[in-house]
Structure 1
Amino acid sequence: MAKYQLLLPKMGESVAEATIIKWNKKPGDYIEADEAVMEIATDKVDSEVPSPVSGKLVEQLCKEDEVVQVGSVIAIIETDVAESNDVSPAATVPAPEAAPQPVAEKAPQFVAQATPQAIVEEQTPEPVAAIPGIDQIEQRETAPVSGVKYENRFYSPLVKNIATQEGVGSAELDQIPGTGAEGRLTKDDLLNYLQKRGTNGSATPNFTAPQQTEVKQPISAPPSQPTKPVQPQTAIPVAEAPKTAPQPAATSVSGSHEIIEMDRMRRLIADHMVYSKHTSPHVTSFVEADVTELVNWREKVKNSFEKREGEKITFTPIFIEAVVKAIKDFPMINVSVNGTQIIKKKDINISMATALPSGNLIVPVIKKADELSLIGITKAVNDLANRARNNKLQPDDVKDGTFTITNVGSFGNVMGTPIINQPQVAILAVGAIKKKPAVIETPKGDSIAIRHMMFLSLSYDHRVVDGALGGSFVSRVAHYLEKWDINRTI
């Protein structure tokens, strides 16, 4: 019998670690090739880790809720392959790629220090993911860790776990300056701070909170539990964090209510929505569009398209194409904000909000949608939607979005006021297409006819998008939908 080392696979260029959510197999269980062994979570998506070999699970090398580096050995599987006498057991294990060393997350350098320009055209997507969402929920998990409560800033689960282990209280944590996006405290910021504190006994961060007349001194770790210097390259064994007594589940006193604890994804969505409303002053503009020609065209081509391409053509790719055209006309809607800088994006990456069977929401991204034909957009939409519903998305599938579309019409709603998907500055909601009597202007005079009508709702960040730009943009999208060529071939 040979033993196979199962490694945590690489899940995207920007992902160096993941949290173990759940083991699907326990020691002694037999695993088929390509069968899921565990479920993992990154700050972008949840996914499964399949086994590339068949065999019996001998050992689990990490525990649930533990943060593990990409490339680390997570399990030992005993395979049915006979072990050769002249080959060492290690030789039967594929040599793992070197795990990428954690790199300090730095705020993106959008302009040179000597450049006074306020608007910077970005050549490549930001290294910091866009959110979710909805879109890249951006490392803002709010689940309490070991009884420690953090209220003043957003911290990733790993940062909270490290702080808990090292005895760093919330007041002390809030005073540590961060180098991440929007001043976020990264893992390396905290580790560097702990090294200084471990060497000097205490380390007062060179940071003063705004509008405070008094800065509290950081809280040192208890003398009975001296802090040890931590190397930035060392993975933090979350499983060794101090255990707290399990809290009893909340119950209804009257018995007339059911109390449901939010799952991890719902907490991330809730956190991101609050963050977006706190960050951007939202304004919403509405336009009603006559899409009769578009509806008739789709009805005419949908069967032949599906037979030829093996794909269904829905309205979503058509809406995306119209949005892409409008973004080319109004490129200042395809931006993000970094302090007082406006970051103008070269790529047009369309995020599309997708409802999951669990009732949650995720926002996969169609990269460089402006370079795709309508057929290409259709295939990308169907692929991402299917993989989202089957929990097969990768972290790179939900990053770098520059503009979001959400289809509230799929739930029968005629319009909505969507919340901006940070760090984007606008999101378009498309409503249900309804037959309505409408006034038709003709050279011979006005008449009333039954038309297919729909509402478009654009929510935008009033810090950088004024009513003229926001209103003109959504009107341009409606124009492209209304002027659809009934004779267009695809």
Structure 2
Amino acid sequence: MAKYQLLLPKMGESVAEATIIKWNKKPGDYIEADEAVMEIATDKVDSEVPSPVSGRLVEQLCKEDEVVQVGSVIAVIETDEAGSDNTPQAASVPETAPEPASQTVAEQAPNFVAQPTSQQPVIADIPGIDQIEQRQGAPIDGVTYENRFYSPLVKNIANQEGIGNSELDKIPGTGAEGRLTKDDLLEYIQKRGPKAGNASQSYAAPQQGQTTQPVAAPVAEPAYVAPQPVAQQPQQTQPAPSETFTAPKQSQDSPQPATTSVSGGNEIIEMDRMRKLIAEHMVYSKHTSPHVTSFVEADVTELVNWRERIKNSFEKREGEKITFTPIFIEAVVKAIKDFPMINISVNGTQIIKKKDINISMATALPSGNLIVPVIKKADQLSLLGITKAVNDLANRARNNKLQPDDVRDGTFTITNVGSFGNVMGTPIINQPQVAILAVGAIKKKPAVIETPKGDAIAIRHMMFLSLSYDHRVVDGALGGQFVSRVAHYLENWDTKRSL
């Protein structure tokens, strides 16, 4: 018999830790190779941790709702093969996880994405959580860090220690762009000491060779608080109960909170973790960017006829379908090349022009929650390549196989409101991007067309394109020209094109 130590795998360049959502196996259960042992959540996606070996689960080294560093030992599996343990540096299973990642790594908050169902996801009208970690501002004069983004984990620790926003803004951070990490805050608390009334809820400072974990039981993410004006009122040392949402602690086997009937008819439905994150992201986007929306109606008759002609042969040859989504993405990529100042982001007074064109797809899962997978370097892909990338991301989202890096670094977002029968919409910008395009339903309508014999009325396939953009950096001329250019590429489709 040999004992195999299962490590929390690396899930992307930006991910340093994850939260244990659920153990799929209990001590004593037999595990097949590649079978999921547990479910974990990062600030990007939920995913499963498979076992690379077959054997019996001997020990669980972390609990549900516990935050674990990448590379830490999470379980011990006893295999049938003879040999020594796979311990890298120790002969037996350590009681504590390996040393936490360096403080120079930006802290990843344990936000969550709901589990998709077996149904095919569709493109939705609401951006997801792409690059939410980039909200923080740069330090001001090296003294205060106002408007800096704090992860839910940092805010939870601060709330339990009675640390208000004004005090947080004065703590130097070692994370990316001066971000305040969990270890920064814990070190500050250790030097300052717990305040009166908070000793029972204080978090333990990180110890050598241990994973940093709170002493108190984990609490839910605090409700989103809109950014305050510059002239802020002094904040309370200890938040009032009404300022922070705290969910009751549930046992590992407890089901999701059930709806509660009040007043004989109304129901109170508690938001799940993903819905809280989406709500925060939407409010933040509207608070950050002055939204303007421009509309264009496009005649896509030739495009519809072309797809109808080639879709069966394409599916028979490639084994997958071609939808309108990759066609829309290709048109957007061409328009971005013509108007590169749409492919930007804003950092204070700086405009960051993106080199790569990474297209995000706002995708609605059948569960009602959302995720935004990203097609990286879409400008370097053919229509066939874009089609395969779209189908691959959709399939992996459906099967809960997306990795954190699959939903980051988007530079422009497309959302298909037409999949719900809507003719147009006014989408919310997916921060830190500056524009998002909504494509409406394709409808047959009578339209005036030009013919060699003069104008005539004919039945055409028509659709609306809606572009919401950040009016701080995208003026009406640029926004209007861009969406018109997208329509131009769709209307002038080459009907002789082959794939």
- Partners of 1:395 and 1:73 in 2: CA distance: 20
Q: How far apart are the structure 1 equivalents of 2:385 and 2:216?
A: 48
Q: 2:474 aligns with which of 455, 465, 482?
A: 465
CA offset at residue 235 of structure 1?
2.8
- CA–CA distance in 1 between the matches of 2:375 and 2:331? 14
1:235 aligns with 2:230: no
Q: Who is 1:68 aligned against? A: 68
1:202-241 superposed matches below 5 A: 230=206, 235-238=211-214, 240-241=216-217
- The alpha-carbon distance between structure 1 residues 431 and 227, as it changes in their structure 2 partners (threshold 3 A), is closer
Q: When the two structures are aligned, how many residues end up with a matched partner?
A: 433
| Partner in structure 2 of residue 101 of structure 1 | 102
- Greater CA drift, 367-376 or 72-81: 72-81
Give yes or no for contact 1:291–1:452 (8 Å, CA) kept in 2.
Answer: yes
Read off the aligned partner of 1:105 and give its amino acid letter: A
Aligned equivalents of 1:253 and 1:225: distance in 2? Answer: 33
Q: 2:321 aligns with which of 288, 298, 312?
A: 312
Q: Is the 8 A contact 2:103 2:181 kept in 1?
A: no
Over 3 Å counting, the alpha-carbon distance change for 1:286 and 1:57 in structure 2 is same
Residues 28/167 of structure 1: CA separation in 2 closer, same or farther (3 Å cut): farther
Give the aligned partner of residue 192 of structure 2.
197
* Compared CA separation, residues 461 and 181, structure 1 to 2 (3 A): farther
Q: Calculate the aligned-residue CA RMSD, in Å.
A: 3.3
What's the secondary structure of 1:14's corresponding residue?
Answer: coil
Give the 3-state SS of the residue equivalent to 1:252 in structure 2.
strand
Structure 1 position 420 matched with structure 2 position 420: no
Say if 1:421 and 1:293 are closer, same or farther in 2 by CA, change over 3 A.
same
Task: Determine the C-alpha separation between the residues in 1 that align with 2:72 and 2:14.
Answer: 17
Show the counterpart of 1:215. none
CA contact (8 A) 1:3 1:78 kept: yes
CA gap of 1:455–1:104, structure 2 versus 1, over 3 A, is same
Change (3 A) 1:322 1:156: same
- Percent identity over paired residues: 83
- Aligned pairs for 1:77-476 within 5 A: 77-81=77-81, 83-84=82-83, 87=84, 90=87, 100-105=101-106, 133-138=128-133, 154-163=149-158, 168=163, 172-173=167-168, 175-176=170-171, 185-194=180-189, 196-197=191-192, 230=206, 235-238=211-214, 240-241=216-217, 246=248, 251-476=260-485
1:409-454 C-alpha deviation (Å, 9 max, x unpaired): 1111111110000000000000010000000022321100000000
Distance of 2:200 and 2:457 partners within structure 1: 83
1:77-97 deviation digits (Å, cap 9, x = unpaired): 12222x34xx46748999x99
1:15-37 per-position Cα deviation (integer Å, ceiling 9, x unaligned)? 11001111122222222221111
How far the C-alpha of 1:164 sits from its partner, in A, is 5.5
- Output the CA distance in 1 between the equivalents of 2:132 and 2:10: 19
Could you tell me which amino acid in structure 2 is paired with residue 377 of structure 1? Answer: I
- Unmatched segments (≥5 aa) in structure 1: 107-130, 141-151, 202-218
SS at match of 1:484: coil
Whole-Å Cα distance in 1 between the matches of residues 373 and 30 of structure 2?
34
CA 1:165–1:23 in 2, change beyond 3 Å: closer, same or farther?
A: farther
TM-score by length of 1: 0.80
TM-score, normalisation: structure 2: 0.79
**Shift in Å, 1:267:** 1.2
Which one is further off, 161-170 or 188-197? 161-170
Distance 1:104 1:464, change over 3 A: same
Structure 2 unaligned regions, length at least 5: 108-125, 136-146, 220-245, 251-256
Q: Counterpart of 1:125? A: none
Q: 2: distance between equivalents of 1:408 and 1:247?
A: 38
Report the CA distance between 1:193 and its aligned residue. Answer: 2.9
